[in-house]
Structure 1
Amino acid sequence: MFSHVMVGSSDIERSKAFYNTVLAVVGIKEAVVNVNATGQTRLLYLHGGMMFGVTEPINGEPVTVSNGATLGFLCDSPEQVKAFHDVAVANRGTSIENPPGLRDTSTGKKHLCYFLDPDGHKICGMYRCP
């Protein structure tokens, strides 16, 4: 359904260190660094035909976070959900909501974790139980 998702960063090198480390937990390789036509640096993480991007804002305005938005990354196991969370928190992420673990929701059982990246974007790790 989605081709890509992109978030802003106020410190692209900090974001690169954070996401290269955190996304490696779920098998996503280090960012391809791209400078667009107007000079902003972008980090592009390619995986499974999709892209997650981190960019310096094109308009030069400060980075803001979308209230209510969550970026979810698939995990292969409950253990990977916990590791995804723990690595994020160890690398300047902020744990939010409940601790990583099993949730019995209206859409089925799943293991979830939630954290904020260093710019305040809400990230989720999810493993759907079979």
Structure 2
Amino acid sequence: MFSHIMIGTNDIERAKRFYDSVLAVLGIHESTHNVNDTGQKRLFYAHNGSVFCITEPINGEPACPANGSTIGFTCDSPEQVLAFHSAAIANGATSIEGPPGLRDNTTGKKHLCYFLDLDGHKICGMYRCN
């Protein structure tokens, strides 16, 4: 359904250090750098046909997280959910919505973790149980 997701940052190098460490847990090891036509620096992480992008805002205003939004990353196991969360916290993220673990609701059983990245974006790691 999605080709890519792009979020803003106020410090591209700080975001690169954070996401290089955190996304490595999911097997995403390299970002590519890009400068667009108007001079904003960007990072692109490609994996399994999807792209996660981080950019300096084009309009020159400070980057800010969207209230009510969540960006979810697929994990391969409950252990990977925990490792993803642990890597994020070790690199300065803030844990939110309780500890990582099993949740069972109307959408089924899944292992989840939630954290705010260094710019305040809400990130989720999810493993769906069969």
Q: Same fold (TM over 0.5)?
A: yes
What letter corresponds to residue 82 of structure 1 in structure 2?
L
Q: In 2, Cα distance between the equivalents of 1:6 and 1:70?
A: 12
1:5-63 CA distances to partner (integer Å, 9 max, x unpaired)? 00000000000000000001011122101111111100000011110000000100011
1:38-49 equivalent positions in 2, closer than 5 A: 38-49=38-49
TM-score under structure 1 length normalisation: 0.98
Of all paired residues, the percent bearing the same amino acid is: 69
Structure 1 SS opposite 2:16: helix
1:85-96 equivalent positions in 2, closer than 5 A: 85-96=85-96
What letter corresponds to residue 17 of structure 2 in structure 1?
A
1:105: how far off? 1.4
1:89-125 CA distances to partner (integer Å, 9 max, x unpaired)? 0001110011000000111100000000000000000
Equivalent residues, number: 130
Q: Which structure 1 residue ranges, 4+ long, deviate > 6 Å from structure 2?
A: none
TM-score under structure 2 length normalisation: 0.98
Q: In 2, Cα distance between the equivalents of 1:85 and 1:61?
A: 30
Q: In 1, Cα distance between the equivalents of 2:58 and 2:84?
A: 29
Match of 1:100 in 2: 100
What letter corresponds to residue 48 of structure 1 in structure 2?
N
Match of 1:4 in 2: 4
Structure 1 SS opposite 2:20: helix
CA-atom RMSD in angstroms: 0.5
